[in-house]
Amino acid sequence: MDLHGAFHVYDTTLRDGAQQEGLNLSVADKLSIARQIDGLGVGYIEGGWPGANPKDTEFFRRAVDELDLRHARLAAFGATRRAGLVAADDPQVAALRDSGAGVVTLVAKSHDRHVELALRTTLEENLAMVRDTIAHLRAEGQQVFLDAEHFFDGYRANRDYALEVLRTAFEAGAEVAALCDTNGGMLPPWVADVVHDVVESTGGRVGIHCHNDTGCAVANSLAAIDAGATHVQGTVNGYGERTGNADLVTVVANLELKRERPVLPAGLLSEATRIAHAVAEVTNIAPAARQPYVGTSAFAHKAGLHASAIKVDPDLYQHMDPLGVGNDMRLLVSDMAGRATIELKGRELGFDLSGDSPEAKQLLTRITDRVKALESRGYTFEAADASFELLLAEEVEGERPAYVEVESWRVITETQSGPGLEALSEATVKLRAQGVRYVVTGEGNGPVNALDQALRSAIGQAYPEVAKLELVDYKVRILDQGHGTDAITRVLIETSDGAGTWVTVGVGHNVIEASWEALLDALTFGLRRHHR
């Protein structure tokens, strides 16, 4: 497949995606993300704006040496020459020309009011800036794309001028003009109409760049492609300013799986879930569970009612095979959990509960009843796979996995004397592990934190491997609203050992006790995982 030929998948995570509020990437982050995105098989990766800031300049310097891209070409983003300058003399243009990327994506104004208000130059000079800069870069051997900024709004305001900018770019040697819905206000039928007109009026190659302000970034991109665009820009996980850019993985999955239009090298789309999550690890933004195709909930079913039908024909309940994007069907053990759900869920976790013997049937019934009873008391196993696995292990193996025997614990939280001082918590835990009794005290700036410190330092003396377990998330939910501080509390704890994460649950009237239960399960599961 020619990724640089008839259709371009163009990633701008590192440039436009990085505009997202709260997203801050180091040069090392950007290199790491570029490698991940290359693994998806896109044709182009826009790395940033060399010359605009030291970080992007360093990125391109290092990228040329260190990035060994297998599929993608690197693109440098930048602006047309400044008004009144010769393109070859403009240092900003020189930085683009000399970035080493080989591809330059030039942003240009195509909305008359923006030319006047933001560029503060004349409409004619803007055209000259587009023409000269492209001609210079082409003469220097660069592949050149144009990003026509605010194109759709500009087209509405002054169609002739907007089209004139594109014609100028094509004549000067731009290979593609990407129409940008910079403010993100478009809907699919409008995008389709404009792209149709541009393709017809200019005869040039059209690309599309959408934002999600109307919730239609993906549909707008598809509408443009249907109307003749052959170059699509987007970002991994839909990162971007305001509501984000078009989610490139969703766009590509729709093209490949729904439209039977291959745009990536064969087989690489099945890396999408892994890559989307790996990029989220680098950005340190928790991935959205509901994200299309790659979200952890994207193929999760509250099975109950239809579990038996799902067993017979899963395709009745999913719009595609999740393996196509490297995701997995998950059955949520929830309120409505029936035997069939538990059986399927058990299989996922490596427990065969499908036997036909009376013992096997009795076991399945016992587990189902216990799950129902626990859920009616406020437990949820939908989110807490690790606690569910411990429960299954207990029922199947005859006893609950346990590495310690807890005697008692206590936590004290109190104000400190002195203005402005925060309260402090201190926990004492007494337990036995491998025949030895431990009495350990931990301090923390909260009661659960103190308890966690005490518990892991007690267990850590018998099992040093708990040192690598880290609590990555702690959630509290008050069930049974309307009872104020006397309500039932549910705590969910997510733990990581570097290689994977798991979630445990604890429930009780006392938030500290519920937290204790989830903490202990978390460490037990981690030790079990380690010793397997």
Q: Is 501 in the site for a second copy (CB under 8 A)?
A: no
Least distance from C-beta 503 to a second copy, angstroms? Answer: 10
CB 532 → a second copy: shortest distance, Å?
24
Name the phi and psi angles at 243, rounded to 5: -95, 0
**How many residues form the binding site for a second copy (CB under 8 A)?**
124
Residue of the chain from 5, 419, 435, 482 that contacts a second copy (CB under 8 A): 482
Least distance to a second copy from the beta carbon of 8, Å? 20
Give the whole-angstrom CA distance, residue 29 versus residue 91. 27
Cβ proximity to a second copy, 115 vs 363, nearer residue: 115
Take residue 61 and report the two structure tokens written for it.
């310097």
Nearer to a second copy, 18 or 172 (CB): 18
Q: Does 415 bind a second copy (CB under 8 A)?
A: yes
- Is 446 a binder of a second copy (CB under 8 A)? yes
**DSSP 8-state assignment for residue 232:** E
Q: Compute the least distance from the CB of residue 463 to a second copy, in Å.
A: 19
CA nearest neighbour of 473 among 454, 447, 492, 498:
492
Q: Which of 1, 83, 508, 528 binds a second copy (CB under 8 A)?
A: 508
Judged on CB neighbours under 10 Å (0-12, 13-18, 19+), 435 is: exposed
Fill in the DSSP letter of residue 101: -
CB 40 within 8 A of CB 274: no
Question: In the bound complex, what is the minimum distance in angstroms from residue 283's beta carbon to a second copy?
Answer: 10
419 binds a second copy (CB under 8 A): no
Nearest of 175, 251, 236 to residue 11 by alpha carbon? 236
Q: 143 vs 425, which CB is nearer to a second copy?
A: 425
Taking CA atoms, 241 is separated from 18, 35, 58, 79, 429, in Å, by 8, 23, 23, 19, 48
Applying CB under 8 A, does 278 fall inside the site for a second copy?
no
Closest distance of CB 288 from a second copy, Å: 7
Q: Give yes or no for residue 413 binding a second copy (CB under 8 A).
A: yes
Q: Which is nearer to a second copy, 362 or 416 (CB)?
A: 416
Q: For residues 313-342, which are near a second copy according to CB under 8 A?
A: 313, 316-320, 332, 335
Which run of H or of E encompasses 112?
A: helix 112-114
Using alpha carbons, list the distances in angstroms from residue 8 to 68, 233, 244, 438, 449.
Answer: 20, 8, 20, 63, 50
Q: With contact defined as beta carbons under 8 Å apart, do 208 and 225 qualify?
A: yes
Cβ at position 89, least distance to a second copy in Å: 22
Interaction with a second copy in 207-266: which residues (CB under 8 A)?
A: 212-220, 222-223, 226, 238, 240-244, 247, 250-251, 253-254, 258-259
